[in-house]
């Protein structure tokens, strides 16, 4: 049996660092859903946000801290009294809440950003940790840009903040600069040169600018780090963060190498990945490790033959271990309300109200008339569209399109705008472009389309198409998503969803 020092603490920052991905802003309801799913997956710490950043962020962190149990809730704070006070006010009703404060230690940051010398940084770090420790014994200190810092100075700062009350020390590769062997050596140096390191947990937070976040995190664990900071699907600023699902399955699959344990419920990895992807509008690439659509797909005849004879010939992981099941195809147009209700519960969702269930069932039946078989992903799409939808300023009533290689692409759209019906039509490069132009005209909006992606939710020619868009409206970047068996309709729904998100954010800001 492994002892306590073999336990890897998973610190998930999907709701904080992950949300800093362009367009990945989530509302309070969406953040709460993800936090609940992370708790179900048994992560150890959820970094719920940066409370001082905005009133909305404060409310989201407070809502999660007040209501989610069985997991530590953390809030980020710069190394100053106001940030720390604000973080504590958001966290104080949580179960073992954590204040996570940070200050840069690299000479690059000291000279160009902080305009401080090392002695001043050391003094501020100690003072900030002491202030945080006055609220809670669960204090984490991060040395921003640690991998480009002088290691002896980092050791000096870490030694001092442990004495000041820090119980977790985070050594982040803020810019994704480190190489795995170099990063592992840095962790070993810290473990051997911080005299009071036994009083704290050493943590790592890696960015993926060079595609090495997971490799660096595994190297750090090998060298003695016992907390790893991750995001679902590896989302985050720039190229993203360490992907939780890859670290978890790396440790599980190669337990012979790492010899550590985690509390993560691996069967929740795929459902959580899907939830985060759907809420943020950030699609998972098909060849993404662990949770990508092709992660367990085998097209080569030689591979297929081997899999049929013995799964382990070409699969080092069991799909069931990450939450993928071969038996997800269970519903069709003859399925009843009870079967649908049972399937929703099996997917891990909270029970629906009678009204919500009726709306979902009606949409389910309509979809079942169009396509023969209903997959779990189809049900998830319906739930997102009905149960978890944001308030609709704009609602699609009907859409008609004409196109072809010899015809001028024209799309007509009818919308309800705050209950008032309006319609129009436009010519475009293609029917989707025409639909977007029409919607912009009807809604009198000037959003700029930055990103457009389409995929099939499931297999088959009758599969629902899923469209994700990224829009820029004024200084905001918003994601939108839509699903429908008709891809032009799915695209229109995605565009309208983005506009609704923009309107929701604007109205909330006014309040």
Q: What is the pLDDT of residue 1?
A: 34
User: Tokens 């309509």 appear where?
Assistant: 366
Strand 98-104 and strand 72-78: pairing? Answer: parallel
pLDDT-based confidence at residue 155 (cuts at 50, 70, 90): very high
Q: What is the pLDDT of residue 507?
A: 74
For residue 467, what are the β-bridge partners? Answer: 454, 482
Which residues, in sequence order, are CB contacts of 346 under 8 Å at separation 6+?
none
- The residue ranges of every structural domain in the chain are 4-280, 301-386, 394-510
Strand 72-78 and strand 45-49: pairing? Answer: parallel
Cα distance between residue 45 and residue 210, in whole Å: 26
Cα distance between residue 301 and residue 404, in whole Å: 37
Q: What six digits make up the tokens of 36?
A: 């609940």
Does residue 303 surpass a pLDDT of 60?
A: no
Least confident span in 110-124, 202-216, 350-364, 496-510: 496-510
pLDDT-based confidence at residue 18 (cuts at 50, 70, 90): confident
Does residue 329 surpass a pLDDT of 60?
A: no
Q: What six digits make up the tokens of 425?
A: 């039509």
Q: What is the pLDDT averaged over residues 170-187? A: 98
Residue 28 or 9, more confident: 9
Q: What six digits make up the tokens of 457?
A: 């939710």
Helix axes of 55-67 and 81-91: crossing angle, nearest 10 degrees: 40
Which residues, in sequence order, are CB contacts of 300 under 8 Å at separation 6+?
none
Vertex 104 angle, CA 98 and 105, to 5°:
115
Q: What is the pLDDT of residue 65?
A: 98
Q: How big is the chain by its Cα radius of gyration, in Å?
A: 25
Estimate to the nearest angstrom the gap between the alpha carbon of 94 and the chain centroid. Answer: 22
Q: What six digits make up the tokens of 85?
A: 């006070």
CATH for 4-280 (3.30.460.10, 3.50.50.60, 3.20.20.70, 1.20.810.10): 3.20.20.70
Does residue 327 surpass a pLDDT of 50?
A: no
Cα distance between residue 144 and residue 17, in whole Å: 14
Least confident span in 14-23, 223-232, 267-276, 447-456: 14-23
Q: What is the pLDDT of residue 281?
A: 77
pLDDT tens-digit profile of 361-411? 998 888 888 877 787 778 887 887 787 777 889 999 999 999 988 889 999
Q: What is the pLDDT averaged over residues 250-275? A: 94
**In this structure, CATH architecture of domain 394-510:** 2-Layer Sandwich (3.30)
């Amino acid at each position: 049996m492994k002892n306590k020092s073999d336990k890897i603490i998973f610190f998930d920052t999907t709701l904080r660092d992950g949300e800093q991905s362009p367009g990945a802003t989530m509302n309070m309801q969406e953040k709460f859903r993800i936090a609940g799913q992370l708790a179900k997956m048994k992560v150890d710490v959820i970094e719920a946000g940066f409370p001082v950043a905005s009133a909305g962020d404060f409310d989201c962190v407070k809502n999660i801290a007040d209501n989610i149990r069985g997991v530590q809730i953390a809030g980020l704070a710069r190394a100053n009294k106001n940030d720390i006070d604000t973080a504590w006010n958001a966290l104080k009703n949580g179960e073992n809440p954590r204040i996570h404060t940070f200050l840069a230690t690299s000479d690059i940051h000291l000279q160009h950003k902080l305009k401080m010398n090392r002695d001043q940084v050391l003094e501020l770090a100690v003072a900030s940790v002491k202030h945080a420790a006055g609220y809670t014994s669960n204090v984490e200190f991060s040395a921003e840009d640690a991998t480009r810092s002088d290691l002896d100075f980092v050791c000096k700062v870490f030694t001092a903040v442990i004495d000041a009350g820090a119980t977790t020390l985070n050594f982040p590769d803020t810019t994704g600069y480190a190489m795995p062997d170099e990063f592992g050596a840095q962790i070993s140096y810290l473990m051997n040169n911080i005299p009071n390191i036994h009083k704290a947990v050493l943590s790592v937070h890696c960015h993926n600018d060079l595609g090495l976040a997971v490799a660096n995190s595994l190297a750090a664990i090998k060298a003695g780090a016992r907390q790893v900071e991750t995001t679902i699907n590896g989302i985050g600023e720039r190229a993203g963060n360490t992907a939780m699902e890859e670290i978890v399955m790396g440790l599980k699959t190669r337990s012979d190498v790492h010899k550590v344990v985690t509390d993560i419920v691996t069967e929740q990895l795929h459902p959580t990945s899907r939830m985060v992807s759907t809420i943020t509008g950030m699609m998972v690439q098909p060849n993404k490790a662990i949770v990508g659509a092709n992660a367990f797909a085998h097209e080569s005849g030689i591979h297929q033959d081997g899999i049929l004879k013995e799964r382990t010939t070409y699969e080092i992981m069991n799909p069931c271990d990450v939450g993928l099941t071969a038996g997800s195809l269970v519903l069709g147009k003859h399925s009843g309300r009870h079967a649908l209700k049972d399937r929703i519960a099996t997917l891990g969702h909270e029970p629906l109200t009678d009204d919500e269930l009726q709306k979902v069932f009606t949409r389910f039946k309509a979809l079942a008339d169009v396509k023969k078989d209903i997959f779990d992903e189809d049900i998830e799409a319906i739930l997102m569209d009905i149960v978890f939808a944001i308030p609709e300023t704009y609602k699609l009533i009907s859409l008609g399109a004409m196109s072809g290689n010899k015809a001028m692409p024209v799309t007509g759209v009818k919308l309800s705008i705050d209950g008032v019906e309006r319609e129009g039509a436009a010519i475009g490069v293609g029917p989707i472009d025409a639909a977007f132009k029409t919607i912009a005209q009807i809604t009198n909006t000037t959003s700029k389309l930055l990103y457009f992606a389409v995929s099939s939710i499931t297999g088959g020619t009758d599969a629902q198409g899923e469209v994700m868009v990224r829009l820029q409206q004024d200084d905001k970047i918003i994601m939108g998503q839509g699903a429908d068996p008709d891809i032009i309709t799915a695209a229109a729904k995605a565009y309208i969803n983005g506009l609704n998100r923009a309107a929701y954010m604007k109205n909330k800001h006014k309040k």
